[in-house]
């Protein structure tokens, strides 16, 4: 290929890289931020319920869950128990009432309760916890789920294009990774963008591609629609077979001890269980279904077994998955990172942070680069000012909203109706207020104010936990609770980081443009004769 041809191809990729990253950049930033936080969603579930102690004996929790359900939902059609893990807060139990005559079967669960580490039901503050960040990562909020997943899927496609075209565009990208020039304006933003992009390049490619795999049935439904003509029910039945279904006989019979079933199932499944479903409890036709925990294996499509609910004997084991299903399950598992140990999860988190910085710096770099090309950089046109302020609203407003959600979790009345939803409303109210500030003030003022507020709120949270809860940093370290201590430590680090950025932006003064020396020699004016 000729040099000119190579340059033409790289220039076309530069155009593609710029606009694929810009058009949905604000959404991509929100998806990256919430997805990165979701790597510690179980830890946040505990942090946002500081009343609950850590689980040390899971079987005690399971026994307590069975006792509670036997008293509270004796005549239920199904019980559901989400089993505790190493970093979870306990077990969440829920149930579906018996169907009335003529009523169609439903998948939605009824009431739910929390069982603590001692096996007792507890009233804890209502919160979505870390699950909100996990669901927002691909379902967004305040909009139909199917629309949200299409929008996030398209954004992920744009992200994949931006990554691949970025590798082609920056032919010196790996050399530039070792170059970081401070105080150089556009050059500094490009260095930071390149460094975070190259640092997490394998992660960024993996997380974007596997994210698309998780949405493949939504984005490319034609294969399943062509093969299955019943709106997907047969498709999911073939992908997730459930075996023999329980049928109610009308004859009462005591339910088998679930802890005994659990001890028998885990060796057969090859790892710790994560979920128990009991169908027709208290009846002679009862069945117990046990699923292996996704935290114990790479694939998200975990093995499952069914037991007779009276005798406790195995009656069905899920068949082995084929190669395609195993591959898809492994990709989804790699994306979610549930299998990761503490150190690998930390690497996931740091790579996610690098991705957030990469997207944010790319958005800011676009405005920095365009400003230098304006006829009058001090008086940009309306379109430029709008993009610049939307950058402030998206990149500066979302972290402030997240800090507001954490404070709402601590300050909203415990008995408040709709408390969990109002925690989330507080995030969007703060984000909306931040956007209003960004759109009505100078960009530098917006950056400084929003980052300063975010840093101060994040720094104050661990201090509040020391005096306002029994799960503060000192108490967590004292009992060896690394998860809660780590979250408070991360809040301190990010709080200081936001304050440092705010200080840096506030003190920055752009260099005066150098006057170009005229190429035409100055004319000497001679006095008129």
Pairing of strands 304-308, 314-317: antiparallel
User: How many C-beta atoms lie closer than 10 Å to residue 251's C-beta?
Assistant: 10
Which residues pair with residue 419 across a beta bridge? none
| Amino acid 519: pLDDT | 43
Query: Over the chain, what is the mean pLDDT?
Result: 85
Q: How far apart are CA 301 and CA 315, in angstroms?
A: 20
What digits encode the pLDDT tens for the residues 155-192? 999 999 888 887 777 666 666 555 555 655 556 666 66
| Amino acid 356: pLDDT | 93
∠ CA 54-60-63, nearest 5°, is 135
Question: What are the structure tokens assigned to 130, written together?
Answer: 């870390």
Whether the pLDDT of residue 256 is over 50: the answer is yes
**Count of residues making up the chain:** 529
Higher per-residue pLDDT: 378 or 437 = 437
Q: How far apart are CA 387 and CA 371, in angstroms?
A: 11
Most confident listed range (26-35, 215-224, 318-327):
26-35
Q: How far apart are CA 286 and CA 308, in angstroms?
A: 6
Mean pLDDT, to the nearest integer, of 127-135?
A: 94
CB 384 within 8 A of CB 367: yes
Confidence label for 124 from pLDDT (cuts 50, 70 and 90): confident
Whether the pLDDT of residue 527 is over 50: the answer is no
Higher per-residue pLDDT: 309 or 468 = 309
Higher per-residue pLDDT: 215 or 238 = 215
pTM for the full predicted model: 0.88
91 phi, psi to nearest 5 deg: -115, 145
Q: By mean pLDDT, which of 146-160, 304-318, 376-390, 499-513 is the weakest?
A: 499-513
């Amino acid at each position: 290929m000729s040099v000119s041809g190579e340059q033409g191809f790289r220039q076309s990729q530069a155009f593609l890289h710029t606009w694929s990253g810009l058009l949905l950049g604000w959404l991509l930033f929100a998806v990256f931020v919430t997805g990165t936080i979701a790597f510690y969603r179980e830890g946040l579930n505990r942090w946002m319920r500081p009343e609950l102690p850590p689980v040390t004996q899971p079987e005690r929790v399971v026994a307590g869950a069975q006792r509670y359900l036997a008293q509270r939902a004796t005549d239920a059609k199904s019980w559901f128990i989400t089993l505790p893990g190493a970093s979870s807060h306990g077990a969440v139990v829920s149930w579906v009432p018996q169907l009335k005559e003529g009523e169609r079967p439903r998948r939605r669960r009824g009431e739910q309760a929390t069982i603590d580490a001692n096996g007792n039901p507890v009233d804890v503050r209502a919160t979505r916890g870390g699950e909100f960040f996990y669901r927002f990562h691909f379902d967004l909020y305040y909009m139909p789920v199917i629309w949200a997943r299409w929008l996030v899927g398209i954004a992920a496609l744009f992200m994949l294009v931006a990554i691949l075209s970025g590798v082609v565009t920056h032919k010196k990208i790996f050399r530039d990774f070792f170059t970081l020039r401070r105080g150089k304006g556009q050059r500094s933003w490009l260095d930071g963008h390149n460094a975070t992009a190259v640092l997490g390049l394998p992660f960024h490619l993996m997380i974007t591609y596997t994210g698309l795999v998780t949405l493949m049935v939504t984005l490319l439904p034609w294969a399943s629609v062509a093969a299955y003509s019943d709106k997907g029910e047969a498709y999911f039945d073939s992908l997730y077979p459930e075996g023999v279904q329980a049928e109610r006989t009308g004859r009462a019979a005591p339910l088998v001890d679930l802890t005994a079933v659990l001890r028998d199932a885990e060796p057969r499944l090859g790892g710790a269980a994560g979920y128990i479903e009991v169908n027709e409890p208290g009846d002679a036709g009862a069945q117990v279904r046990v699923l292996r925990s996704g935290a114990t294996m790479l694939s998200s499509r975990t093995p499952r077994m069914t037991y007779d609910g009276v005798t406790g004997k195995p009656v069905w084991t899920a068949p082995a998955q084929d190669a395609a299903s195993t591959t898809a399950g492994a990709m989804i598992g790699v994306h979610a990172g549930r299998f990761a140990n503490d150190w690998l999860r930390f690497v996931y988190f740091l790579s996610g942070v690098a991705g957030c910085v990469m997207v944010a710096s790319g958005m800011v770099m676009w405005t920095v680069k365009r400003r230098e090309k304006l006829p009058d950089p001090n008086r940009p046109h309306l379109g430029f000012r709008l993009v610049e302020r939307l950058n402030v609203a998206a990149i500066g407003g979302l972290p402030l909203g997240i800090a507001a959600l954490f404070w709402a979790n601590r300050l909203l009345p415990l008995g408040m109706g709709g408390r969990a939803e109002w925690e989330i409303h507080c995030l969007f109210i703060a984000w909306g207020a931040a956007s209003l500030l960004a759109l009505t003030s100078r960009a530098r003022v917006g950056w400084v104010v929003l980052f300063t507020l975010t840093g101060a709120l994040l720094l104050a949270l661990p201090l509040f936990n020391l005096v306002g809860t029994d799960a503060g940093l000192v108490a967590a370290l004292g009992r060896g609770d690394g998860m809660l201590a780590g979250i408070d430590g991360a809040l301190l680090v990010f709080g200081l980081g936001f304050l440092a950025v705010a200080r840096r932006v506030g003190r920055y003064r752009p260099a005066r443009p150098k006057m170009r020396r005229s190429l035409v020699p100055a004319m000497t004016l001679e006095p008129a004769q």
